[in-house]
C-alpha cells in the first residue's frame, strides 16, 4: 500500500517534453508543459508521479506544480539532481504527511559509466580532468569494479553536493 485508502493517487502526464533542450548560448532549460490528463478533481490529498527531465531541479518541478494546483502545500519525496531523469514523487495537500513513507521505500538507480574519465564533481556536470585508456579492461574487470555499487549501499555525498551542512551548501 502506497497511501491511506482515502488519499487519491494520480499521474501527472507530460503533453510537451522535448528532452528539456538546453540552449548552448545561455544555458536556459526549456520547462516541460504539463496537461491535465488524469488529474484529480479534489486536491485535498494527491500523489503525482512525475517523469522529471534533465535540467530541472526537483524544487523546480514542485514550484511549477504549486502554481497549477489550488493547494499551497506541495512537496517531493526525494531529490533528484538536475542532470538526473526519472520518477519524482510529488505530494499535494494532506498527502505531504506521508512523505516519510515514500522516502523509506526501496529505490533503484541506473546510470551510465564512462570508463577512464575523471571529473572534479564525480559526474558529467564538470569538465573531464583526466583520461585513461580502458581497452585493457575486460567485462569481468568491469563487473568486479561495479559490484560494490549493487545492493544496499551507504552513499557519501561529494563536495559538489547540494546537501547543506551548517546551513551552507556543501559545494560552496
- Active-site residues, by number, are 81
Alpha helices per DSSP H over the chain:
58-66, 99-103, 139-146
The DSSP-derived string for 111-164 is: ----TTEEETTSSTTS-EEEE---TT--HHHHHHHHGGGSSS---PPPTT---E
Q: Measured between alpha carbons, how far is 86 from 71 in angstroms, rounded to an integer?
A: 24
- Which residue from 82, 45, 44, 48 is spatially nearest to 65, judged by alpha carbons? 48
Number of residues written out for the chain: 172
Chain centroid, CA 48 distance in Å: 14
Amino acid at each position: 500500500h502506497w497511501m491511506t485508502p482515502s488519499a487519491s493517487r494520480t499521474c501527472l502526464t507530460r503533453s510537451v517534453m522535448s528532452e528539456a533542450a538546453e540552449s548552448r548560448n545561455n544555458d536556459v532549460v526549456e520547462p516541460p508543459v504539463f496537461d491535465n490528463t488524469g488529474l484529480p478533481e479534489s486536491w485535498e490529498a494527491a500523489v503525482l508521479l512525475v517523469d522529471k527531465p534533465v535540467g530541472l531541479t526537483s524544487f523546480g518541478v514542485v514550484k511549477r506544480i504549486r502554481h497549477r494546483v489550488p493547494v499551497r502545500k506541495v512537496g517531493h519525496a526525494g531529490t533528484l539532481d538536475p542532470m538526473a531523469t526519472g520518477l519524482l514523487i510529488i505530494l499535494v495537500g494532506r498527502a505531504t504527511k506521508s512523505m516519510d513513507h515514500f522516502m523509506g521505500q526501496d529505490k533503484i538507480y541506473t546510470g551510465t559509466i564512462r570508463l577512464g574519465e575523471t571529473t572534479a564533481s564525480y559526474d558529467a556536470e564538470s569538465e573531464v580532468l583526466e583520461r585513461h585508456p580502458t581497452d585493457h579492461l575486460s567485462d569481468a574487470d568491469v563487473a568486479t569494479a561495479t559490484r560494490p555499487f549493487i545492493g544496499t549501499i551507504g552513499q557519501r555525498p561529494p563536495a559538489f553536493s547540494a546537501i547543506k551542512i551548517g546551513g551552507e551548501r556543501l559545494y560552496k
